[in-house]
Amino acid sequence: MKKLAAVFLAGIMCASLAACGSGAADDAASTDTQTATEETVEETEETADDAAAADTEGETAEAGEVTTVTEGILTMGTNAAFPPYEYYEGDTVVGIDAEIAQAIAEKLGLSLEIVDMDFNSIITAVQSGKVDVGIAGMTVDPERLENVDFTDSYATGVQVVIVTEDSDIASVDDLEGKLIGTQEGTTGWDYCSTDYGDDMVIPYTNGATAVQALLDGKVDCVVIDQQPALSFVEANEGLKILETEYAVEDYAIAVSKDNTALRDAINTALNELIEDGTVQGILDKYITAE
Q: Are 108 and 265 in contact (CB under 8 A)?
A: yes
Contact region with ligand GLN (CB under 6 A), list: 64-72, 133-141, 269-277, 278-286: 133-141
Residue 14 to residue 103: CA distance in whole angstroms: 18
Is 186 one of the binding residues for ligand GLN (CB under 6 A)? Answer: yes
Is 256 one of the binding residues for ligand GLN (CB under 6 A)? Answer: no
Residue 255 to residue 264: CA distance in whole angstroms: 10
Residue 168 to residue 242: CA distance in whole angstroms: 11
Contact region with ligand GLN (CB under 6 A), list: 65-73, 180-188, 264-272, 282-290: 180-188
Q: Are strands 73-78 and 111-116 parallel, antiparallel or unpaired?
A: parallel
Is 187 one of the binding residues for ligand GLN (CB under 6 A)? Answer: yes
Q: How far is the CB of 236 from ligand GLN (least distance, A)?
A: 18
Q: Mask 61-90, x = binds ligand GLN (CB under 6 A)?
A: ------------------x--x--------
* Short-list 114, 105, 112, 126, CA closest to 265: 105
Contact region with ligand GLN (CB under 6 A), list: 104-112, 135-143, 259-267, 280-288: 135-143
Report 213-232 residues binding ligand GLN (CB under 6 A): 225
Is 161 one of the binding residues for ligand GLN (CB under 6 A)? Answer: no
Residue 17 to residue 52: CA distance in whole angstroms: 27
Contact region with ligand GLN (CB under 6 A), list: 14-22, 46-54, 103-111, 183-191: 183-191
Runs of H (alpha helix) within the chain = 2-16, 23-26, 38-57, 96-107, 122-127, 142-145, 187-196, 207-215, 226-235, 260-275, 278-286
Interface with ligand GLN (CB under 6 A) = 79, 82, 119, 136-139, 157, 183, 186-187, 225
